[in-house]
């Protein structure tokens, strides 16, 4: 392997990773969050605090449409070399202090500057969105086997007070995905506003039960420092306590608001990633092995660069320890028409979501109702409306 992202296959062929330096976008995109405060300091116009939000929710989906999709894959022969190249890991490592720094700066900005309420709301939503990105970074790091990366995952999950995701996602969601047992898999006919009420508490309690079982198996009490739900929670208490000590108790509503919007970005991702898809139950009572077609996929360029290929979700669920730079495109997958942020906006308007996604789901399963996970209250309506058999 050379130093410039050029890899040599065992047969002597050369592969160049043309996306190698595009991953740096994942560091640049969070920095857009400070553009709003910078413009406010320069002009005094609080309306400009909404500019980063417009970039994230409008400009990025438009860029996804303009740049299109990338369906290229690295040759399997070079994947071991690609995954050993530490450059890709350093990108994720560099993002940790970046996200913590933007979070701390924004709390200082809200807590110390004379900003109107709408400007505070804008800043809360922007940093909450970045907290959603932090959860995604924790997602990438938390799947790895190395102890250092797993601790990094806990550290980056702490500002959002969502450290239990480290346990729930890896040991719960990946086990139960696309089944009725999974609170983090949405169902056909279920709105995101109904889903969030099922997903958030369901994920939390599943994490608690999983960790209780693990600790009991190794002879450790639940209330101990061995508890991997409590570990990131303690970092959260330290970080939030420090913010309150410096900025006063008045910062607490913003801490909560930022954490909530970050959590809701994860909920939004979970909602769109497996909507209506269903793994079949086998004769032995177990579910079939998770396959790429059990997740909605998106190959849109810009948002994938900004999210470490999270949107190649199909390969991720089929091969969860595979590093982001190696995730593959497959043909004939259920496919989203835009990147995640564009799809989030559609999901927030249920009639629009159903109009866009229900026909895609029906087409993907060939009109077979036995291959769809239904929201119970909407099942008969969905079957009749889409003439499912």
Place of tokens 């979501």: 353
Predicted confidence at residue 12, as pLDDT, reads 83
pLDDT confidence bin for 3, thresholds 50/70/90: low
Across all residues in the chain, what is the average pLDDT? 96
pLDDT of 1 higher than 60: no
**71-85 burial code (b ≥16 CB/10 A, e <16):** eeebeeebbeebbeb
Which structure tokens are listed for 84? 């050993």
- pLDDT: is 62 or 11 the higher one? 62
Give the span between the Cα atoms of 160 and 130, in whole angstroms.
10
* Residue among 129, 160, 141, 81 at smallest CA distance from 310: 141
Whether 318 and 333 have beta carbons less than 8 Å apart is answered as no
Segments making up each domain of the chain, as ranges: 6-385
Predicted confidence at residue 20, as pLDDT, reads 94
Mean pLDDT across 351-378? 98
The pTM score is 0.95
pLDDT confidence bin for 187, thresholds 50/70/90: very high
Which structure tokens are listed for 218? 């190794």
Whether 345 and 160 have beta carbons less than 8 Å apart is answered as no
Mean pLDDT across 293-315? 96
241-250 pLDDT per residue, tens: 999 999 999 9
4-37 pLDDT per residue, tens: 789 988 888 899 999 999 999 999 999 999 999 9
Whether 369 and 333 have beta carbons less than 8 Å apart is answered as no
Predicted confidence at residue 348, as pLDDT, reads 98
């Amino acid at each position: 392997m050379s130093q410039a992202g050029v890899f040599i296959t065992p047969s002597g062929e050369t592969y160049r990773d043309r996306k190698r330096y595009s991953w740096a976008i994942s560091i640049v995109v969070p920095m857009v969050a400070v553009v709003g405060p910078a413009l406010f300091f320069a002009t005094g116009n609080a309306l400009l605090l909404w500019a980063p939000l417009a970039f994230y929710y409008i400009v990025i989906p438009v860029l996804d449409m303009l740049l299109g999709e990338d369906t290229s894959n690295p040759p399997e022969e070079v994947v071991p070399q690609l995954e050993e190249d530490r450059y890709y890991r350093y990108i994720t490592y560099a993002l940790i202090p970046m996200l913590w720094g933007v979070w701390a700066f924004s709390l200082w900005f809200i807590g110390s500057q004379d900003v109107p309420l709408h400007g505070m709301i804008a800043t809360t939503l922007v940093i909450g969105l970045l907290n959603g990105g932090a959860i995604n970074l924790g997602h990438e790091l938390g799947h790895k086997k190395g102890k250092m990366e797993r601790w990094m995952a806990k550290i980056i999950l702490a500002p959002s007070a969502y450290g239990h995701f480290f346990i729930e996602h890896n040991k719960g969601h990946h086990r139960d995905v696309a089944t009725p047992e999974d609170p983090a898999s949405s169902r056909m006919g279920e709105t995101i506003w109904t889903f969030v009420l099922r997903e958030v508490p369901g994920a939390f309690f599943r994490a608690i039960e999983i960790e209780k079982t693990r600790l009991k198996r190794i002879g450790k009490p639940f209330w101990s420092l061995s508890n991997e739900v409590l570990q990131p929670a303690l970092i959260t208490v330290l970080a939030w306590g420090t913010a309150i000590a410096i900025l006063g108790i008045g910062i607490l509503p913003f801490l909560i608001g930022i954490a909530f919007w970050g959590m809701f970005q994860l909920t939004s991702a979970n909602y769109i990633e497996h909507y209506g898809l269903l793994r079949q139950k086998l004769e032995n009572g177990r579910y079939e092995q998770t396959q790429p077609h059990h997740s909605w996929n998106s190959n849109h360029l810009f948002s994938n660069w900004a999210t470490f290929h999270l949107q190649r979700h199909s390969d991720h669920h089929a091969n969860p320890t595979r590093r982001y730079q190696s995730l593959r495109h497959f043909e004939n997958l259920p496919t989203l028409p835009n990147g995640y942020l564009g799809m989030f906006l559609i999901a927030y308007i249920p009639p629009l979501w159903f109009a866009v996604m229900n026909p895609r789901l029906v087409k993907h399963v060939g009109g077979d109702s036995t291959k769809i996970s239904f929201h119970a209250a909407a099942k008969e309506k969905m079957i009749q409306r889409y003439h499912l058999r």
